Amino acid sequence: KMAEKQEEPSNTQNGEPDNAEEGEEKKKKKLKREDLPPFEIVTGERLPAIFFKFQFRNVEYSSGRNKTFLCYVLETQGKESVTSRGYLEDEHAAAHAEMAFFNTILPKCESNLRYNITWYVSSSPCVTCADRITETLKKNKNLRLTIMVGRLFMWEEPEMQAALKKMKSAGCKLRIMKPQDFEYVWQNFVEQEEGEEAKAFVPWEDIQENFQYYEEKLAEIL
């Protein structure tokens, strides 16, 4: 029941007008800033606390948690470094958040720039997304990707394990989020109440045990 209640708000976030406006903004930005790397810099985009508390929980059985939330920090190193951050979720992009990142945030890697990317994702990628990550990293040697995940998705499945191993061999760093990482996401990517003191991150009861549980599983797989 709780799961249903908490997922309802996500539909209201999916309004079309936003996207139309974004398109216009993008055009304006492109005209003004030809010299910048070809991605949109999203600032002040934060996810509602209720989504974070539900989706990012590193529970063992993730019932009702069938969406991926992906918070990213993208550092582009050229003549000068540019850092951008934001978050994506599955619905916004009509694709899994991982795919959406490559399609919308980082559509093309410029070979003369280095990209350091860190994702904080509620769960590890599905097989298709894992394969896309592997391909992208093999193609773009100037791209470094670290993925911090709250939970492992379908990790018992042999093809999933194989896909994660391939990601690792393509140079992707895969890590399980520690309590400190959840706190980092809370501070940097979650909406804080207007006008109030920023609320401190409150770890859930089994956060440390669940982290250790998933860390062992990941070590076994990789």
pLDDT in tens, 134-181: 999 999 999 999 999 999 999 999 999 999 999 999 999 999 999 999
Question: What CATH superfamily is the domain 42-191+203-221?
Answer: Cytidine Deaminase, domain 2 (3.40.140.10)
Q: Give the Å distances, CA to CA, from 107 to 86, 102, 103, 104, 159.
A: 15, 6, 5, 6, 27
The total of other beta-carbon atoms located within 10 Å of residue 86's CB is 21
Per-residue pLDDT tens digits for 79-113: 888 898 888 877 655 678 898 898 888 888 888 89
Domain ranges of the chain: 42-191+203-221
- What are the catalytic residues? 98
Supply angle C-alpha 71, 45, 117, rounded to 5.
35
Indicate the pTM of the whole model. Answer: 0.74
Q: Which residues pair with 82 in a beta bridge?
A: 76
